[in-house]
Structure 1
Amino acid sequence: MSLTAFLQSRYGSGFATRGAVEAHHNAAFRRFRANVMPRSPFYRDMAALPLEQLPRVDKAMLMQNFSAINTSGIDRDEAMQIALKAETSRDFSPLIGDVSVGLSTGTSGQRGLFLATPGERRLWAATMLGRYWPELWRRQRVAFFMRADNALYRSMSNAVVRFEFFDLMASFDDHLDRLDALKPSVLIAPAQVLAVLARHQIEKWISLSPRRIISVAETLSPDEAALIERAFGIRVDQVYQATEGVLAMTCRHGNLHLNERWLRIDRDVIDAETGAFCPIIHDFTRESLPILNYRLNDVLIPQAERCPCGCASQRIARIEGREDDVLWWRAPTGNRMITSEAIRTTFACLPQSLSDYRVIQRGGSLHIWLDGAEKEAETALERGLGLLAASMGCRLPILVFHKGLPPEENGKRRRIRVESDLGLKQVG
C-alpha cells in the first residue's frame, strides 16, 4: 500500500472525472464499513447505515467518545496523559503499543487527540515523499518546524531522507545555526515561520537553497507567498493538514486540491454567492480513529475552473480560516460575508507598508492593530475599508485603532478573526 501510494503521489495524474472520484469513494466506504467499523465499539452497530445517516461529529463529540470510537482499545485519559507529558518534556517518542499519540491545540483552543498506527504513518510518509521529494537519486535533508514532533512526522526519516525537527517552543534564534549547517533541501514550516526565514535570507543572516518549500499549519497569504518566493527563488507548496487528516495538497501546477483519494469531503455551504463551505469529512484510510461525518469549522472557497494538471479532485481557491472568524457586515438586504482576501487586499493597497497587523471583529466594531504604522496609515485604511463596504453594499463597522499587536491566541497567528459576531452571521 505504501509503494502504491508513493507511485500514485509521484507519477499519478489523479482522477480524470468526478464520476471516477465518486466510484472510488463508494468502493472505499464499502471496504471501510466491512473491515474497520466493526472494530470500533462506537460504530460497530452502524456499519449497515448509509454514510449520511451516521451521527454528525465535531471535535467535542470525538473527544467525548474517543475511547469508544478508536479501534485500538486506547483509553482517552491514558492517551491524553501521554500526550500532555510529551508536550511538557518535549520528548515525543513514547507510544501506546505501536500507536503514536499526538495533541492538537487547534485554532479554537480546544484540545484534540490523534492516533497513527505504523501502517498509517507509512501511508502518510509515502504520500508526502512521493509528492514533494525533489530528486529520487539524491539524499534529502528535511527541516521541519512545528510546535510538536510525532512518530508520524519521523516516519519520513530513512536511509535516503535525513529528517530534523525544529521545535517552535524553543528559542528561534538557537535554530538558525543548526538550520544553516543542515542546508535543507526540503523546508517545512508554518507560513509565519517561512516568512521570518525569508526575511533572514534576504538580509543574509542565513544562506539556504531548498529545492522544496512547504507551508503547513496556517493559512498562507499571497503576500507571504510572494515574500518567500522572492527570498528563495522557488514556489511555495501547501499541505492543508488538520488533526482530522490531510485535507488538501498543492499539485504540480501549484494549485490546491482536496485530497479525495483519501477522503470524501461533503460541503456545508455558508455563503451561496462565493460557494464558501465548511468541509464534512469521511476518511477511508484512518483506521485507528475513524473520522466519519465529521464537520470542520474551517471555511474553504472552491475554485470552479479545472486545473491544468488534469485532476478532477476539487480545487480550492483559498482557505479563509475558521467559520467563526469570517467577517459579516450589516447590509440592508441581509448581512454580507467579507472575505479575508478582501481585507488583506485593502491592507496591501495602503501607501505605507506595515510590519504586521491584526483585525478583530467584536460585534459591530472592528478593532485594528497596525504594527509600524503612522497616523496616515489609519486614515488611508479607513478610506479603503469604506470603499470596500460601499462596493459590497454594506455598512462599515465602527473602527477602533490600537498600537502594536495584541497577544497571540493559543500561540496561533490569526491576522483576521471574530471574537463575537452578536448575531451578524448570515442565516439561510
Structure 2
Amino acid sequence: MSLTAFLHSRYGRGFASRTEIEAHHAAAFRRFRAQVMPRSPFYRGMAELPLEDLPRMDKARLMANFSAINTCGIDHDTAMRTAIRAETGRDFRPLIGEVSVGLSTGTSGQRGLFLATPRERRLWAAIMLGRYWPELWRRQRVAFFMRADNALYRSLSNALVRFEFFDLLLPFEEHLSALAGLNPSVLIAPARILAMLAERQVAGRISLSPRRVISVAETLSPDDAALIGQAFRIRVDQVYQATEGVLAMTCRAGNLHLNERWLRIDRDVIDRATGAFCPVIHDFTRESLPILNHRLDDVLIPDPDPCPCGCASQRIARIEGREDDILWWASAAGPRMVTSEAIRTAIACLPQPLRDYRVIQRGRGLHIWLDDAASGADTALGASLAGLARQMGCQLPELAFHRGLPPESDAKRRRIRVEPDAIAPR
C-alpha cells in the first residue's frame, strides 16, 4: 500500500469527477467496515450503520472513549503517560509495542492523543515523500520545526533522506547555526516560524536555498505566504494536518485540496453566504484509532472553481481558523460572519504598510493594534471597516486602536482572533 500511495501522490492524476470520488469512498468503507470496525470494541456493533448514524465525535468524546475506540488494546492513561513522559523528557523514541503515541498542542482547549502503527507511519511517509520530495535521484536534507518529535515524522528518514528535528521549545535563535549547517533542501515548519526565518533571510542573517518550503500546523496567512515566498524565492506549499489526520495538501498548481483519496470529509456549513464549513471526517486509513463522523472546529472556505491540476477533490480557498475565532458582527437578521480575509484586505489597503498588526474581538468591541503605523492609519482603517459593515448590513463593533503589539499570549500568533466573551452566532 505504501508504494501505491507514493505513486498516487507523485504521479497520480487525481480524481476526474465527484462520481469517481464517491465510488472510491464507498469501496474503501466497505473494506473498513469489514476489516477494521470489528476490531474496535466501541464500533464493533456499528459496522452496518450508515455513516451519518454513527455517534458524532469531537476531540473530547474521542478522548473519553479512547480505550474502547482504538484497535490496539492501548489504555488511555497508559498512552497519556507515555506521551507526557516523551514531552517532558524530550525523548520521543519510546513506543507502546510498535505503536507511536503523540499529543496535540491543545490550543483548542482539549489535548488529544494520536496513535500510529508501523503501517500507518509508512503510509504517511509515502504520501508526504510522493507529493513533496523535490528530486528522487538526490539525497534530501529535511529540516522539521515542531513542538514535538514522533516516530511518525521519523518515518521520513531513510537512506535518501536526512531528517533533522528542530525543537520549538528551545530558543529560536539557537537553531540558526544548525539550520545553516544543514542547509535544508526541504524546510517544514509552522507558518509563524517560516515567517521568522524569512525575516532573517531577508536581513541576511541566514542564507538558505530550499527547494521545497512547507507550512504546517497553523493557518498560513496571505501576508506570511508572500513574505516567505519572496525570501526563499519559491512557492510555499501547505499541509493541513490535525491530530485527526492529513486533511488537505497543495497540488502541483499550488491550490489546497481536501485529501479525498484517504478521507471522506462532509460539511457542517456555518455560513451559507460564503459556504464556510466545519469538516466532519471519516478516515478509512486510520486503523489504530478509527476516526469516524468526527467534527473539527476548524472553519474552511470552499473554492467553487475547478483547479488547473484537473483533480476534482474539493478546492479550499483558505483555512479561516477555528470556529471559536470567527468574527461575528451584529445585524438585524442576526450575527453575520466576517471573514479574516475581509479584515486583512482592509488593512492591506491602508496607504502605508504596517510592520505587523493584531485584531482581537472582545465582547462587542474590536481591539486593533497597528505596529509602526503612519499617522492617520486609525482613521483610514476605521472608515474602511465602517464601509465593510455597511456593505454587509452589519453594525460595526466599537473600535479601540492601540500602538505596537499586545503581549503574545497566543502560541500560534494568530493576527485575527476572538476572545471568549465575544458575540457568538448561537
Given the two structures, how large is their TM-score scaled by the length of structure 1? 0.97
Q: Does the CA contact (< 8 Å) of 1:325 and 1:417 recur in 2?
A: yes
Q: Does the CA contact (< 8 Å) of 1:80 and 1:113 recur in 2?
A: yes
Give, in whole Å, the separation in 1 of the partners of 2:423 and 2:326: 13
Q: What residue number does 1:296 align with?
A: 296
Equivalences for residues 232-271 of structure 1 within 5 A: 232-271=232-271
Provide the alpha-carbon RMSD of the alignment. 1.3
Which residue identity lines up with residue 274 of structure 1 in the other structure? T
Is 2:306 the counterpart of 1:312? no
Deviation at 1:407, TM superposition (A): 3.8
Give, in whole Å, the separation in 1 of the partners of 2:168 and 2:380: 36
Equivalences for residues 107-126 of structure 1 within 5 A: 107-126=107-126
Residue 302 of structure 1 aligns to a residue in which SS? strand
Q: Does the CA contact (< 8 Å) of 2:364 and 2:423 recur in 1?
A: no
Equivalences for residues 169-208 of structure 1 within 5 A: 169-208=169-208
Deviation at 1:18, TM superposition (A): 0.5
Which residue identity lines up with residue 259 of structure 1 in the other structure? N
Give, in whole Å, the separation in 2 of the partners of 1:286 and 1:87: 23
Q: What residue number does 2:160 align with?
A: 160
Q: Does the CA contact (< 8 Å) of 2:192 and 2:412 recur in 1?
A: no
Residue 266 of structure 2 aligns to a residue in which SS? strand
Is 2:292 the counterpart of 1:273? no
Q: Does the CA contact (< 8 Å) of 2:361 and 2:422 recur in 1?
A: no
Equivalences for residues 4-43 of structure 1 within 5 A: 4-43=4-43
Deviation at 1:336, TM superposition (A): 1.5
Structure 1 pair 68/409, CA: closer, same or farther in 2 (3 Å)? farther
Deviation at 1:376, TM superposition (A): 2.7
Which residue identity lines up with residue 112 of structure 1 in the other structure? G
**Structure 1 stretch displaced more, 63-72 or 403-412:** 403-412
Give, in whole Å, the separation in 2 of the partners of 1:409 and 1:37: 41
Q: Does the CA contact (< 8 Å) of 1:109 and 1:410 recur in 2?
A: no
Deviation at 1:359, TM superposition (A): 1.4
Deviation at 1:37, TM superposition (A): 0.6
Give, in whole Å, the separation in 1 of the partners of 2:395 and 2:421: 15
Give, in whole Å, the separation in 2 of the partners of 1:68 and 1:360: 40
Structure 1 pair 91/195, CA: closer, same or farther in 2 (3 Å)? same
Q: What residue number does 2:209 align with?
A: 209
Q: What residue number does 1:80 align with?
A: 80
Is 2:334 the counterpart of 1:324? no
Which residue identity lines up with residue 102 of structure 1 in the other structure? G
Is 2:360 the counterpart of 1:349? no
Residue 394 of structure 1 aligns to a residue in which SS? coil
Q: Does the CA contact (< 8 Å) of 1:140 and 1:160 recur in 2?
A: yes
Structure 1 residues 301-330: Cα deviation after superposition (integer angstroms, max 9, x where no partner): 101111011111000000000111111111
Q: What residue number does 1:139 align with?
A: 139
Q: Does the CA contact (< 8 Å) of 1:327 and 1:337 recur in 2?
A: yes
Q: What residue number does 1:148 align with?
A: 148
Deviation at 1:68, TM superposition (A): 0.6
Give, in whole Å, the separation in 2 of the partners of 1:149 and 1:203: 29
Residue 293 of structure 2 aligns to a residue in which SS? strand
Is 2:399 the counterpart of 1:399? yes
Q: What residue number does 1:223 align with?
A: 223
Structure 1 residues 88-145: Cα deviation after superposition (integer angstroms, max 9, x where no partner): 1111111111111101023313211111000000000000000000000100000011
Give, in whole Å, the separation in 2 of the partners of 1:213 and 1:263: 25
Deviation at 1:410, TM superposition (A): 5.6
Which residue identity lines up with residue 199 of structure 2 in the other structure? R
In the comparison of the two structures, how many residue pairs are matched?
426
Give, in whole Å, the separation in 1 of the partners of 2:37 and 2:413: 37
Equivalences for residues 331-346 of structure 1 within 5 A: 331-346=331-346
Give, in whole Å, the separation in 2 of the partners of 1:387 and 1:160: 55
**Structure 1 stretch displaced more, 406-415 or 17-26:** 406-415
Deviation at 1:351, TM superposition (A): 2.3
Structure 1 residues 392-415: Cα deviation after superposition (integer angstroms, max 9, x where no partner): 121110112334333444622221
Give, in whole Å, the separation in 2 of the partners of 1:362 and 1:186: 39
Which residue identity lines up with residue 334 of structure 1 in the other structure? G
Give, in whole Å, the separation in 1 of the partners of 2:137 and 2:26: 37
Is 2:66 the counterpart of 1:53? no
Q: What residue number does 2:359 align with?
A: 359
Structure 1 pair 407/65, CA: closer, same or farther in 2 (3 Å)? farther
Q: What residue number does 1:371 align with?
A: 371
Give, in whole Å, the separation in 1 of the partners of 2:371 and 2:422: 28
Deviation at 1:423, TM superposition (A): 5.0
Structure 1 pair 76/409, CA: closer, same or farther in 2 (3 Å)? farther
Which residue identity lines up with residue 313 of structure 1 in the other structure? S
Percent sequence identity is 77
Which residue identity lines up with residue 49 of structure 1 in the other structure? L
Is 2:403 the counterpart of 1:390? no
Structure 1 pair 409/75, CA: closer, same or farther in 2 (3 Å)? farther
Deviation at 1:371, TM superposition (A): 2.6
Deviation at 1:375, TM superposition (A): 5.3
Q: Does the CA contact (< 8 Å) of 2:329 and 2:423 recur in 1?
A: no
Give, in whole Å, the separation in 2 of the partners of 1:137 and 1:218: 31
